[in-house]
Amino acid sequence: MGSPQAGKLFLQALTGSGLESSSLQQHSMFDTVALQTIKDVEASEGQVTCLIPVEERVQNRYGTLHGGCIATLVDVVGSAALVTVSERSGVSLNISVDYLRPGKAGEDVLVDAKVVKVGGLIATINVDLKSTRTGELIAQGKHIKFLSSKDKGIPTAPSPQAMRAKL
């Protein structure tokens, strides 16, 4: 069974947040580059919340929260919520996002991921992103995951040899 602590560790491992000398930080993975600013991570059974400031590195050319960053938040924070109730983090089958209004530069966006259902092979997670300034919904995401029996849960950094082998 998963735990709230596992959810926080999962998110920290993928984003590099709260990790002083993580081997993950030595690799330039999209998750760590785009999401290093995640803060105030909270986890409970079936739920993970965090804040992301709409800083320049996560903005699009209009100065608002980039849609790709929003989709990544649905993926990563949704997966963190899953490991609060499951030992398996799964692999994505489908991620959908409804973009409702812009996340404006300089504001914090609340990311709230809640596990809807964990079955034998499939899990469903809903993720809401809201402006902390107005409370308005910025985007809603749904993440459907396949739960493999081979899944080990919390990710680890690939070895330098494994990274070189992919080149």
* Domains of the chain and any CATH numbers: 4-148 (3.10.129.10)
3-state SS, residue 150: coil
57 vs 35, 36, 60, 102, 110, CA distance in Å? 9, 10, 9, 16, 17
- Where on the phi/psi map is residue 90: left (φ > 0), alpha (ψ -120 to 50), or beta? left
Q: How many C-beta neighbours within 10 Å does residue 84 have?
A: 24
pLDDT at 6: 83
pTM over 0.85: no
- pLDDT value at residue 66: 94
Q: What are phi and psi for residue 68, nearest 5 degrees?
A: -65, -35
Alpha-carbon radius of gyration of the chain = 15
Half-sphere CA count of 21, side-chain side, radius 13 A: 0
The pLDDT value given to residue 25:
45
> What's the pLDDT score for residue 166?
56
Cα–Cα distance between 119 and 96 in angstroms, integer? 20
Integer CA distances (angstroms), 64 to 150, 151, 154, in order: 39, 36, 31
Residues found in the chain = 167
Residuewise pLDDT in 10s, the chain (167 residues): 788 888 888 777 766 655 444 444 444 455 665 678 899 999 999 999 999 999 998 999 999 999 999 999 999 999 999 999 998 889 999 999 999 999 999 999 999 999 999 999 999 999 999 999 999 999 999 999 999 877 665 554 454 555 456 55
- Do the bridges between strand 122-131 and strand 137-146 make them parallel or antiparallel, or are there none, so unpaired? antiparallel
Strand partners, 40: none
Q: How far apart, in whole angstroms, are the C-alpha atoms of residue 108 and residue 163?
A: 34
